[in-house]
Amino acid sequence: MKNHLIYRKVKTHMTNLHFESTEEFADLFKRKSIKVTDAIVSGIEKAMTENKKSALLFLLSFQDTDQAFEVSLPESQWKVSLESCLEHYHKLDKQDQQIDTWKLLEILKIEK
């Protein structure tokens, strides 16, 4: 099966994910993609910078449909999401991303 998944930043700085099928969608989130992890951290960071209560993460679209779906994450879920991203970066030995994610977690602790 060809991988037709397209990653592209859209103007809102959320990641645009286009899928050929729902199976392709499910597969991406099962295997913990670095691009998904990066998009989560980026979306949360942008929301924190703009003092938003929700982080826009993804714009999902599927082949043969005109509909697109925005995926956002409420502020109450940022800490657990960043902790998961930090763990993923650690497993991949992505030290710079680990530091950046840790800093965001520290900011969240100060703001609470």
Q: What does each C-alpha distance from 92 to 3, 34, 36, 47, 96 come to in angstroms?
A: 22, 9, 14, 25, 11
| 46: in domain | yes
Other Cβ atoms closer than 10 A to 97: 19
Q: Answer yes or no: is 66 within a domain.
A: yes
Alpha-helical regions (H) of the chain: 22-30, 34-49, 78-91, 95-111
Total structural domains within the chain:
1
Two tokens, residue 110: 């100060």
In a domain, residue 1? The reply is: no
The answer to whether position 77 is within a domain reads: yes
Domain interval for residue 33 = 6-111
Residue type (1 letter), 74: P
Which pLDDT value is given to residue 13?
63
CA gap 81, 65 in Å, rounded: 30
Residue 53 falls inside a structural domain: yes
> What does pTM read for this prediction?
0.81
Contact predicate 39/31, CB 8 Å: no
Residue in this structure with the two tokens 């710079």, named with its chain if needed:
96
Give pLDDT tens digits along the chain (112 positions). Answer: 344 444 444 445 678 888 888 888 888 878 888 989 999 999 999 999 999 999 999 888 888 888 888 889 999 999 999 999 999 999 999 999 999 999 999 999 887 6
